[in-house]
Amino acid sequence: MSPILVGPLTVAGISAVLALIIAVLDKALNNYGDVEISINGGERKLEVKGGSPLLSTLAAENIFVPSACGGRGTCGACKCKVISDVGPHLPTELPFMSPDEIAHNVRLSCQVKVRKNIEIELPRELFSIKKYKTHVEKIRDVTHDIKEVLFALDSGEIDFVSGQYVQLVVPPYGDIKESTQRAYSMSSKPSDKKHVELLIRLVPGGIATTWVHKFLKEGDAVELVGPFGEFRVHDTPAAMICVAGGSGMAPFKSIFYNLYETSAFPEKDIWYFFGARTSKDMFYLEELRELQAKWPRFHLVAALSEPSPEENWAGDTGLITDVLDRYLQTVIPKNDKGWEGYLCGSPGMINACINVMKKNGITEDKIYYDKFA
């Protein structure tokens, strides 16, 4: 590991341990009693037990603030404006805050403890977020480390826009003593209001992915919270330049099949770049080629970065960013409709794609993504 990284990582680790110790001692030694949370100038008022993080306190009252990391303070998604004085920003919050957000007391709700009456502001759309009781209808391996999981709603329907995500509620299991939540983009079509499909890649040591890959079975009861997110198709004639890798396939599967089904945004050409290391990491290729064959404005570019000779791979090769760069310069037509970028994948992949797109004339305000750490 680079010596440059050792210092920040050590400080981050020490901060996380100290925060955990403080939280445990605070919970054990202090009883804050009943407190009031006033939302949006008193539009809603909640009487709650004090002492817990604002994120989980609101969730207990069925108000669900988005959080991709389950309240660990590592994703920066659970922002809300706190009107009351709850002390200075914590070191765990500052990396996710702009100077303007700090000035206006925007906070990470997972890092703010509800110790006294508090006044906050939340987007009204969060009041329509729901917790859904479901059961696992089907689990399918689409690669050696990605499972396609289909959840059937036990009652009611879910309304969402292609590109949005839900939070998967992971119960205690094994050595995991508390429930947590993780964010996953939906790969199902909005027209199927009785199901939610997720693509979940196994991450070594990941709480949610280990549970899904090692413990979850068909028929199991599971809770989902959502929908969340602003990642969606924009109503312009510009061509969509879409890039994904691995389980970043999920929102694009939903988007493409919804666009095909509804004939929405008919002026848009769609270019989909999907990158994988080897053939064993590539999936949905046959289905996407069938879609391309019957849908003239959809163009699939699948690329392998490390194909072996025995794979007999006939498609593009190289890093997906290099393939993208080549196509933007020599293949994709340039016209007055312009281009806009849509990305889903690891933070590193997204940052690299943004650089390539900007280099080829796509301004950053025309590049859209949900970046999950």
* Residue 95 CA to its chain's centroid (Å): 19
Domains defined along the chain, listed by start: 32-126 (3.10.20.30), 130-228 (2.40.30.10), 239-369 (3.40.50.80)
DSSP 173: B
| Per-residue pLDDT, 359 | 96
SS3 category, 192? coil
| Per-residue pLDDT, 28 | 52
Q: Is 189 exposed, middle or buried (0-12, 13-18, 19+ CB in 10 A)?
A: buried
| Per-residue pLDDT, 279 | 93
Q: How far apart are CA 205 and CA 215, in angstroms?
A: 14
| Per-residue pLDDT, 19 | 56
| Per-residue pLDDT, 8 | 44
Question: Tokens 């054990």 label which residue?
Answer: 28
Q: Which residues contact 67 (CB under 8 A, 6 or more apart)?
A: 55, 75, 77, 78, 109, 110, 167, 181, 183
| Per-residue pLDDT, 85 | 92
78 within 8 A of 71, measured Cβ to Cβ = yes
Per-residue pLDDT in tens (0 to 9) along the chain, 373 residues: 444 444 444 544 555 555 556 555 555 545 678 899 999 999 999 999 998 999 999 988 989 998 878 788 888 889 999 999 999 999 999 999 999 999 999 999 999 999 999 999 998 888 889 999 999 999 999 999 999 999 999 999 999 999 999 999 999 999 898 888 999 999 999 999 999 999 999 999 999 999 999 999 999 999 999 999 999 999 999 999 999 999 999 999 999 999 999 999 999 999 999 999 999 999 999 999 999 999 999 999 999 999 988 888 989 999 999 999 999 999 999 888 999 999 998 888 999 999 999 999 999 999 999 765 5
| Per-residue pLDDT, 371 | 66
Q: How far apart are CA 248 and CA 344, in angstroms?
A: 5
Q: How far apart are CA 22 and CA 73, in angstroms?
A: 15
